[in-house]
Amino acid sequence: MVEVEYDLGCSLNVPDKLLTWCDLIITHAGKYNIDPYLVAAVMLQESGGQPDVVSVSGAIGLMQIMPKDGIAASFLCANGPCFAERPSTQELLDPEFNINFGTRMLAGHIEKYGSVRDALKAYGPYDVGYYYADI
């Protein structure tokens, strides 16, 4: 395999589909003091770098955040709607807002759970998380 390097203006070595978001990844990872490669990896897994992707469960955008509206509004927890305090679909379709919110959420999980591994498990889909974080 031949490795070819291109200087596309990104100080991160990320797949081409994330290059558009490189500056925002760096900015928000720095803001919340987490590894920008972790943010990029979550973004790649969650959306493949597509800012307008919507999952079958209703998660929105680059970092696949569940909004307070849309299909997610019908998801109920013990104290009412699970995502009532989340941003709207419209807000989450803004790439900068989405990256900021997702990065803040990921940083919060790292702080709450004490490890990147457990934070990834909490960030992933509700029913399985990132169970493969151990691989």
Return per-residue pLDDT of the chain as tens, 135 residues: 544 444 446 888 999 999 999 999 999 999 999 999 999 999 999 999 999 999 988 899 999 998 988 877 777 778 887 777 888 999 999 999 999 999 999 999 999 999 998 898 888 765 555 554 444
Residue keyed to tokens 């290059």: 19
**Listed residue (32, 35, 21, 15) closest to 63, CA to CA:** 21
Domains in the chain: ranges and CATH: 16-124 (1.10.530.10)
Phi-psi region for residue 58, left (φ > 0), alpha (ψ -120 to 50) or beta?
left
pLDDT at 71: 79
Phi-psi region for residue 107, left (φ > 0), alpha (ψ -120 to 50) or beta?
alpha
pLDDT at 4: 42
Note if 85 is an active site residue: no
Q: Output phi, psi for 54, to 5 deg.
A: -125, 125
The reply to whether the predicted model has a pTM over 0.85 is no
Question: Which one of the listed residues 5, 46, 96, 111 is annotated catalytic?
Answer: 46
pLDDT at 7: 45
Q: What end-to-end distance do the CA atoms of the chain give, in Å? A: 24
pLDDT at 125: 64
pLDDT at 8: 45
